[in-house]
Amino acid sequence: MAIALSSVGAGAVRRCEDSHCGAHGIRSRNGARVSCAVGKVRFLALGAASIDQLEGGNSSAKADGGLGTKELLACPICFDALLRKGPPGINQFAIAKSGFQCSTCKRSFSSRNEYLDLTVTSGAKDYVEVPPTGTELFRNPLVSLIYERGWRQNFERSGFPGPDEELKMALEYLRPAFGGVIVDVSCGSGLFTRRLAKCGSFAAVIALDFSESMLRQCAEFVKQDKSLRTADIALVRADVIRLPFASGTVSAIHAGAALHCWPSPSSAVAEICRVLKPGGVFVATTFLSNSIFPFLPQRRSSSLRYWTEKELEELCKLCGLVDYQKKIKGNFIMLTARKQ
Ligand SMILES: C[S@@+](CC[C@H](N)C(=O)[O-])C[C@H]1O[C@@H](n2cnc3c(N)ncnc32)[C@H](O)[C@@H]1O
Ligand SMILES: [Zn+2]
């Protein structure tokens, strides 16, 4: 089945060419009419959620014969575009109402009310995998509950300037990616997801985390904030070392206070480099030296680690990122680098 995108932007008209269709005239979230000339809308290409449309349309990227645009969400196994059954758009309503299927391996992924689970183990019934401490710790519902109610505030003792100031600093680095889609990797309870959505500088914000309870908390905070009712925010469960995006499709990645929690920071940063567009921006904050858990042995444990400045710069370089810059305050570091 093919969906032809006959125009882009807010008033995009999508025409289904399948000959069995009965689903004409679906109204999209932004009020645009999704008119279906003949066919039944089964698995839609992401349509309004496609990068091209969200970022103003770039016909040079239209290379997948019929489907029209490069897609954003991808299968965590094949990294090929997912096909969507349901309303288009990068927002909670559209994602919750949609089913997704990989165009290549045919695996299906569905929304768990608050978030779309795009981990490899999504939907597993018997298979169990216990991740390392830096990941597992944040899956605890109690940790998710207290994260913005005291836990995160503690970081300020190590030099973290606080979320509003951190956002301001991050936006200076993120400027070249304004207008694009930003992924708030390891978003936790959405401290920055909400701020990134409110600042209005991005076409959409994808809040991504491995922790189910963090994502539920994030959804709750978003729901409580009336100003975010119509925001283009999507919540996705995924592993940072298996990001569900096709290569070279994401404008910006923000990762607040997370690098030190990742099981393999080098695999994660390599993965971030893979999904960034050429010129795409990576911004992250983390801890220098042993300021988080002073009782742990110096420098490294298998997870929850801390860094030297040189290591962070080298990490970016090893993973193919360029133009490394940093801002330091006490043990706090904000770093940025971009994909060539
Ligand atoms: C300290 S919190 C940071 C939350 C928020 N970004 C902030 O700035 O406060 C670290 C987050 O990293 C997430 N995380 C840990 N391992 C991960 C993994 N393998 N993939 C994705 N997220 C992961 C945790 O679930 C947790 O939400
Ligand atoms: Zn697949």
What is the tens place of the pLDDT at every residue in 79-99?
999 999 999 999 999 999 999
Q: What pLDDT does 302 receive?
A: 52
CA of 73 to the centre of ligand 2 (A): 11
Cα separation values, 99 from 86, 127, 178, 188, Å: 7, 22, 29, 24
Name all domains of the chain by residue range, CATH numbers in brackets. Answer: 3-117 (no CATH), 133-339 (3.40.50.150)
* 263 CA: nearest ligand 1 atom: 19
Position 305 scores a pLDDT of: 78
Least confident of 23-32, 111-120, 197-206, 247-256: 23-32
Residue 199 and residue 171 in contact, taking contact as beta carbons nearer than 8 Å: yes
The CA angle 257-258-264, to the nearest 5 degrees, is 150
C-alpha 11 – ligand 1 centre gap (Å): 36
Q: Which of 149, 205, 209 to mutate to test the pocket of ligand 1 (most atoms within 8 A of CB)?
A: 209
pLDDT of 336 higher than 80: yes
Bigger pLDDT: 153 vs 56: 153
> Residue 248, exposed/middle/buried by CB under 10 A (0-12, 13-18, 19+)?
middle
Dihedral of the alpha carbons of 173, 233, 246, 95, in degrees to the nearest 10: 180
> Residue whose CA is closest, atom 16 of ligand 1?
135
- pLDDT for 110 equals 85
Side-chain half-sphere exposure of 72, counting CA atoms within 13 A: 27
Q: What mean pLDDT, rounded, does the chain reach?
A: 81
Ligand 2 centroid – CA 251 distance (Å): 23
Nearest CA to ligand 1 atom 12: 186
- Segment holding 288, helix H or strand E: none
| pLDDT number for residue 111 | 87
Q: Please, which pLDDT band fits residue 2 given cuts at 50, 70 and 90?
A: very low
Cα of 143 from ligand 2 centre, angstroms: 33
Q: Is the CB of 263 under 6 A from ligand 1?
A: yes
Q: Where are the beta strands (DSSP E) in 39-160?
A: 82-85, 99-102, 108-112, 115-117
- Nearest atom within ligand 1 for CA of residue 139: 25
For the beta carbon of residue 301, count every other beta carbon within 10 angstroms.
Answer: 14
The CA-CA-CA angle for residues 216, 218, 219, to 5°, reads 65
Q: 34 phi and psi, to 5 degrees?
A: -100, 95
Strands 181-185 and 321-329: unpaired
C-alpha–C-alpha distance, residues 159 and 174, integer Å:
21
Q: Which of 57, 61, 62, 75 is nearest to 119 (CA)?
A: 75
Count helices and strands (H / E) in the chain.
9, 15
Q: Residue 22: is its pLDDT beyond 70?
A: no
For 125-144, b/e burial (b = at least 16 CB within 10 A) is eeeeeeeeebbbebbeeebb
Half-sphere exposure of 195 (CA within 13 A, CB side): 18
Confidence band, pLDDT 50/70/90 cuts, at residue 3: very low
Residues in contact with 139: Cβ distance below 8 Å, sequence separation at least 6, in sequence order: 131, 210, 211, 212, 213, 214
Using the mean position of ligand 2's atoms as its centre, give its distance from the Cα of residue 264 in Å: 23
- Greater pLDDT, 327 or 30: 327
Q: How many angstroms does the Cα of residue 197 sit away from the middle of ligand 1?
A: 18
Beta 82-85 vs 233-237: how paired, if at all? unpaired
Atom 8 of ligand 1, residue of closest alpha carbon: 256
DSSP letter, residue 297: P
Query: Is residue 214 in contact with ligand 1, taking CB distance under 6 Å?
Result: yes
What is the reported pLDDT for 287? 94
Ligand 1 atom nearest the C-alpha of 138 is 25
Pocket test for ligand 1, best of 119, 138, 169, 254 (most atoms within 8 A of CB): 138
| pTM score, whole prediction | 0.83
pLDDT at 184 over 90: yes
Query: 3-class SS at 190?
Result: coil
* Amino acid at the residue 291: S
48-52, 88-92, 111-115: which range is least confident on average? Answer: 48-52
Please tell me if the CB atom of residue 109 comes closer than 6 angstroms to any atom of ligand 1.
Answer: no
Asked whether residue 204 carries a pLDDT value surpassing 90, the answer given is yes
Ligand 1 neighbour 271 (Cβ under 6 A): no
Would the CB of 192 count as within 6 Å of ligand 1?
A: yes
Residue 55, pLDDT above cutoff 80: no
Q: Is 138 in the pocket of ligand 1 (CB under 6 A)?
A: yes
Q: Whose CA is nearest to atom 19 of ligand 1?
A: 239
- Of these ranges, 34-48, 55-69, 139-153, the one predicted with the greatest mean pLDDT is 139-153
